Structure 1
Amino acid sequence: MEAASQEAHLRHVEKDVLIPKMVREKARVLCSDKVEDFTKCCQENGFLMVVKCRAENAALKECLTGHYRDSTLYEECKQEYLKEREEFRRTGIPSKKRQQKVPSSM
């Protein structure tokens, strides 16, 4: 199938929920240093985190938002999703199940 015809067959939930979820997961990995800084600040400051972790929170939001708006990252995730969907349709096995190891002896 051509990419254009594949895109035409994306359902609302795929375009607006599933692919953006993949983008969020990748953005979280790409911003892992900012996530770690913010988490550490929150753990160190408890209830005062709202006031004391503003800089870390702003840096994290800026990093994540930049990746959320990155059309290249969205397209990369869309292509990855389409490959997973195609494999599922071919085999009937969800990607999570394919990634799990099958025990060698039962």
Structure 2
Amino acid sequence: MSLAQQQPASINPRNPHGLGDPNDTTLRKVEVEVLIPKIMRDRARSELCPKEVADFEECCKASSIFMVATCRKQNSALMDCLSHWYKNEAFKEECKAIYLKERAEYRSTGIPKKHRVEKI
């Protein structure tokens, strides 16, 4: 196929910015093993285990260099809470859906999430 016959990626409605099909739901290995677990970790820490995170942080601040020995109870509670959510398949699917939605928005607009302004 010659260059004259090739269409630019931006003309293709399924790939408007040359970033991939916004409706594609297949995942690469890095998305499954790194990007989706990052969303899970961030949401678990901020939304689902905030008390455990705050307790552990407070203990670490108060204990200074002895935190390894003195904060075992808080660390254990935090790890239990986080691992509970990491093993929850419904939570994993929810985070996967969030990732796919963000990726589809990026692919259709060409604007990364950190540069998108949320309209209120």
Q: TM-score range by the shorter chain?
A: 0.7 to 0.9
**TM-score (norm. length: structure 2):** 0.74
Q: Which residue of 1 aligns with 2:32?
A: 15
Q: Show the counterpart of 1:104.
A: none
Q: Which has the higher contact order (CA 8 A, sep 6+)?
A: 2
Deviation at 1:99, TM superposition (A): 3.1
Structure 1 length normalisation: TM-score?
0.83
Runs of 4 or more off by more than 4 Å in structure 1? none
Gaps of 5+ in 2: 1-23
Q: Percent identity?
A: 49
Alignment map for 1:14-33 (pairs within 5 Å): 14-29=31-46, 30-33=48-51
- Which residue of structure 2 aligns with residue 53 of structure 1? 71
Q: Any idea what SS the aligned residue of 1:99 has?
A: coil
CA distance in 1, matches of 2:101, 2:58: 37
Aligned amino acid, residue 96 of structure 1? K
Determine the C-alpha separation between the residues in 2 that align with 1:14 and 1:86.
Answer: 13
Shift of 1:100: 6.7
Superposed CA offset, 1:31-86 (max 9, x none):
11111101111111112211111111110110011111111111001111111111
Gaps spanning 5+ residues in structure 1: where? 102-106
Q: Does 1:81 align with 2:99?
A: yes
Distance in 1, matches of 2:34 and 2:66, equals 34
Equivalent residue letter for 2:104: E
User: Is 2:91 the counterpart of 1:70?
Assistant: no
